[in-house]
């Protein structure tokens, strides 16, 4: 018995999620929801025999299967999700939010998958957050010293950024930066996104900078923690990998670095370089940003269905 779900949003992220769920043994797409009857996502779903509507949230509410739908994945936009969240809360639906609206708690599967299984609305942060916050979390857990700062730069192909992503650039940076602090454990977080117009398109690449109170003696421990975390993420996103070993720069007490808003810092700066190759379920493999976001949401959906005995 599969748990019935609905997907709101027939753009890049929603369509990629649809194709992943169709291969899953736990969830069943009862309705795929868009607002443009001619969208590629809706047309593809229709060809596969998936029930569709182009009436948006209204079409979902009017669906004959609405009562049996247990989980709704929202892959629209942050502004739209604020309204969707209110409506679906009143209807008693579990919501997994793939927008940067951050109505519910942040979830990064390898960091806190089990912490919010009873929440009515969970937020999957952003594609950049899913790719980089696991590394920040690993650094924070590896040594007892404080993680003073975490900064990420996510570079994705312009072709993989649909209208929803482009409309949410500000929300992307704000939500990701906050999740670096809340989930990653950094005292201060910053996020930057780059839409790379290169043709042919380049694969998703991410740079993670962390400043942590640690010493040269901790380098092996930190390297191991980062590599183990990469392996854990790669278990559900096979194209996730380091491009080289982490790079360590040390600042001794005698020669600290000055950080605006913090003061003198002595410890280590770790630079971690990543790339994310997609599975190619919808867009080509360069669109790893879609893959890591939808794979994380799928992990959360299956876990919620299992924990609440919805299967």
Per-residue pLDDT of 245-255, as tens digits, reads 999 999 998 88
pLDDT (tens digit per residue) in 187-199? 999 999 999 999 9
Checking if the pLDDT of 186 tops 80, the result is: yes
pLDDT at 311: 67
Residues 6 or more apart whose Cβ sits within 8 Å of residue 204: 127, 131, 154, 155, 156, 157, 160, 275, 276, 277, 278, 286, 287, 288, 289, 292
When pLDDT is averaged across residues 73-96 and rounded to a whole number, the result is 97
Residue 55 has phi, psi (to 5 degrees) of -100, 15
Residues 6 or more apart whose Cβ sits within 8 Å of residue 59: 31, 33, 53
Q: Which residues pair with 156 in a beta bridge?
A: 195
| Residue spans of beta strands (DSSP E) within the chain | 3-8, 27-33, 52-53, 71-74, 94-97, 121-123, 147-157, 188-196, 204-212, 240-242, 247-251, 257-259, 263-265, 267-276
pLDDT at 258: 86
When pLDDT is averaged across residues 92-107 and rounded to a whole number, the result is 97
When pLDDT is averaged across residues 281-285 and rounded to a whole number, the result is 94
Checking if the pLDDT of 309 tops 90, the result is: no
Query: What is the reported pTM?
Result: 0.96
Instruction: Give percent of the chain above pLDDT 70.
Output: 100
Among the listed residues 35, 127, 161, 233, the single catalytic one is: 127
pLDDT (tens digit per residue) in 103-150? 999 999 999 999 999 999 999 999 999 999 999 999 999 999 999 999
Q: Using CA atoms, how far apart are residues 89 and 1, in angstroms rounded to an integer? A: 25
The domains of the chain, with CATH numbers, are 3-125+291-307 (3.40.50.720), 127-287 (3.30.360.10)
Q: Using CA atoms, how far apart are residues 121 and 106, in angstroms rounded to an integer? A: 10
Query: pLDDT confidence of 170, banded at 50, 70, 90?
Result: very high
- Residue 308, both tokens: 């609440």
pLDDT (tens digit per residue) in 215-239? 999 999 999 999 999 999 999 999 9
- Residue 55, both tokens: 């009436």
Answer yes or no: 146 catalytic: no
CB 38 within 8 A of CB 15: no
* 106: DSSP letter: B
Mean pLDDT of the chain: 96
User: Which one, of 147, 140, 292, 148, lies nearest residue 225 by Cα?
Assistant: 140
User: Which one, of 33, 42, 37, lies nearest residue 9 by Cα?
Assistant: 33
Residues 6 or more apart whose Cβ sits within 8 Å of residue 234: 240, 241
Q: Using CA atoms, how far apart are residues 149 and 180, in angstroms rounded to an integer? A: 9
């Amino acid at each position: 018995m599969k748990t019935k779900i609905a997907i709101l949003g027939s753009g890049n992220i929603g369509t990629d999620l649809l194709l992943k769920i169709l291969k899953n043994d736990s969830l069943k797409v009862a309705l795929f929801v868009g607002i443009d009857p001619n969208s590629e996502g809706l047309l593809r779903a229709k060809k596969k025999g998936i029930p569709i509507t182009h009436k948006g949230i209204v079409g979902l509410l009017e669906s004959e299967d609405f009562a049996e739908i247990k989980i709704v994945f929202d892959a629209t936009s942050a502004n739209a999700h604020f309204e969707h969240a209110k409506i679906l809360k009143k209807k008693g639906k579990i919501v997994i939010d793939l927008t940067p609206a951050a109505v519910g708690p942040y979830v990064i599967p390898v960091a806190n998958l089990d912490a919010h299984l009873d929440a009515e609305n969970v937020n999957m942060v952003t594609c950049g957050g899913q790719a980089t916050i696991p590394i920040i979390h690993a650094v924070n857990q590896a040594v007892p010293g404080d993680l003073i700062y975490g900064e990420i730069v996510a570079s994705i192909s312009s072709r993989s950024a649909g209208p929803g992503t482009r409309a949410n650039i500000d929300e992307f940076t704000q939500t990701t930066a906050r999740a670096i602090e809340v989930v990653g454990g950094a005292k201060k977080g910053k996020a930057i996104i780059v839409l790379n117009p290169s043709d042919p398109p380049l694969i998703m690449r991410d740079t993670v900078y962390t400043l942590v109170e640690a010493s040269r003696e901790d380098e092996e421990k930190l390297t191991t923690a980062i590599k183990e975390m990469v392996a854990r993420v790669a278990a559900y996103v096979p194209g996730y990998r380091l491009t080289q070993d982490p790079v360590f720069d040390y600042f001794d007490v005698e020669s600290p670095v000055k950080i605006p808003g913090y003061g003198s810092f002595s410890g280590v700066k770790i630079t971690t370089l990543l790339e994310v190759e997609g599975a190619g379920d919808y867009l080509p493999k360069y669109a790893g940003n879609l893959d890591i976001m939808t794979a994380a949401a799928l992990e959360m959906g299956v876990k919620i269905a299992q924990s609440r005995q919805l299967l």
